[in-house]
């Protein structure tokens, strides 16, 4: 039986330390996700609204609009109940309650 160390010493190019810091890569991806969730072109209260909606729904920024894909709703400026558009009445009412 051949040991791991024998194989590793003969094929050192196959068994070399990883050049990548996995934790750093994960942190960079999380930072990138956070950047995508923030829209610096809108007021802070709108970013907070987006954050609250994102806790429950798949939301993303499209320009300055908040788009909730899984329930087909768009919230536009001025980000109040009247600026919500969607084709599912129950979902639209739920989002309007979040906006109050």
Tens-place pLDDT, residues 20-64: 677 888 888 877 677 666 787 889 899 999 989 999 998 999 999
Q: Domain residues for 55?
A: 42-100
Rounded distance between C-alpha atoms, residue 64 and residue 74, angstroms: 10
The answer to whether residue 18 sits within a structural domain is no
Judge whether 38 and 47 are in contact, CB under 8 Å. Answer: yes
- pLDDT band for position 66 (50/70/90)? very high
Note the pTM of the prediction, 2 decimals.
0.64
Residue scoring higher pLDDT (38 or 9): 38
Residue 61 domain flag: yes
Q: Could you tell me if residue 34 is inside a domain?
A: no
Does residue 16 fall inside a structural domain? no
DSSP notation for 37-77: H--TTS-HHHHHHHHHHHTTS-EEEETTEEEEGGGTEEE-T
Residue 30 lies in a domain: no
Q: Is residue 37 part of a domain?
A: no
Q: How many domains does the chain have?
A: 1
């Amino acid at each position: 039986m051949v040991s791991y160390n024998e194989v590793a010493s003969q094929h050192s190019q196959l068994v070399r330390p990883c050049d990548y810091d996995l934790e750093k890569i994960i942190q960079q991806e999380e930072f990138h996700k956070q950047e995508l969730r923030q829209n610096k072109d809108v007021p802070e209260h709108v970013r907070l609204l987006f954050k609250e909606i994102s806790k429950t729904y798949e939301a993303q920024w499209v320009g300055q609009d908040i788009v909730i894909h899984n329930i087909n709703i768009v919230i536009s400026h001025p980000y109040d109940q009247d600026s919500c558009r969607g084709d599912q009445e129950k979902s639209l009412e739920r989002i309007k309650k979040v906006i109050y």
